[in-house]
Structure 1
Amino acid sequence: MKLRHHGHWNFGTRCTSNCERGVKREIFLFIFVSATTITCQPQGRRMKPAESLKAFQDFTASKGIDLNASTPREGIEAMLEFRAQAACVACSDDMLLYQWGTYDWGNGKYFELDITRQFIEAELEDDDAISQLSLTYKYQPSAELDALGTSNCWEDATPDFRRFILTSAPFISVADAKADQIDLRHSYV
């Protein structure tokens, strides 16, 4: 948490506040004589986007999660927690994208359930600034999975992103199923 103030402190009290993108953080709320600016950032580990793959692997290993054998429930929950606990340094934007659909990228057709953390680095420009840490679960297509369609949801597009994911039909359909393939990667766009 960064706290910038102008003026004098009158008194302080502890509270829980919803910060940027719905991340809950404990903060100290102070009443000032004049204006106050409060900015919340995830607490814990700080990393650069290029370090995010190793940081996420270390994070999941510390939780006892083997990503190569994980279910979407384990992996996506871990990515949501990682987002809340590992701040991106030097980023002007850092948000999650949840997406699903049946695709053929040239290696066969699969139903994919994916969560991607997208970073935009402040000191770079245009597409050079954008990178993504993606965790994708791939399943052999079926009529049931094809019926789920293709869509996505950005973290800032819904008030309760975690709940949206965990109650979505695509997530529920494969939440505890072992994937045929799991792809974890960091790449620049």
Structure 2
Amino acid sequence: MLISETEVLLTSMLNLAGVRPSEVSAVDVRRTVEVFRRFAAAPADDAASPEEDGDGILAQTGTVDFDGVREFSADLTRQLIEAADQEVIWQLRCTLHWTPSAETEALGYRVLWSFGMPLDDFFAKALSLPGWAWALAGVQAPRHLTIELDRV
């Protein structure tokens, strides 16, 4: 897979698993994580290696206010640095969005990078973050799911 193909591949994998970004159920949160975990293990042929910090995963959760819309989000982002030009960084974000509540506000904001650890260890730690634990508990269905590939 090439970096330019990551968004199409992840979207296709989610589609095959029955996850529809505009109609996400509480059960789809776990499916989304399982799909992303498989996706994260697929090598990107034109990215620097994970050992060079050229391919890593970011897990983050928290209540944020972007563009005037306050929401709770749980996000898995794959960051890829081009092997041919280490200055070119891409991020493929897979973000679940909820209407915020007092409960989600209390979860705080958490961030964890995968660099320097095996993916299995990373996902075990990431999914135990308070926000991800809440999201996976199925307390509330997300409003929607976004998948975005951007050069940063």
Q: Which among 29, 33, 44 is matched to residue 88 of structure 1?
A: 44
Which runs of 5 or more residues in structure 2 are unaligned?
49-53
How far is the alpha carbon of 1:157 from its aligned partner?
5.6
* Higher mean C-alpha displacement, 141-150 vs 151-160: 151-160
Decide whether aligned partners of structure 1 residues 104 and 147 sit closer, same or farther in structure 2, where only a CA change above 3 A counts: same
Which runs of 5 or more residues in structure 1 are unaligned?
1-46
**Greater per-residue helix proportion:** 2
User: Percent same amino acid among aligned pairs?
Assistant: 28
Q: Distance in 1 between matches of 2:29 and 2:18?
A: 15
Which SS does the other structure have where 2:39 is aligned?
Answer: helix
Q: State the 4+ residue runs in structure 1 displaced beyond 4 angstroms.
A: none
How far is the alpha carbon of 1:125 from its aligned partner?
4.2
**Greater per-residue strand proportion:** 1
Say if 2:114 is the partner of 1:155: yes
Q: Distance in 1 between matches of 2:60 and 2:106?
A: 15
Which SS does the other structure have where 1:54 is aligned?
Answer: helix
Which SS does the other structure have where 1:156 is aligned?
Answer: coil
Q: Distance in 2 between matches of 1:166 and 1:101?
A: 13
Which SS does the other structure have where 2:4 is aligned?
Answer: helix
TM-score, with structure 1 as normaliser: 0.68
How far is the alpha carbon of 1:169 from its aligned partner?
1.8
Counterpart mapping for 1:20-169 below 5 A: 47-70=1-24, 71-84=28-41, 86-92=42-48, 93-126=54-87, 129-156=88-115, 160-169=121-130
Q: Distance in 1 between matches of 2:31 and 2:143?
A: 16
TM-score, with structure 2 as normaliser: 0.83
Q: Which among 160, 173, 184 is matched to residue 134 of structure 2?
A: 173
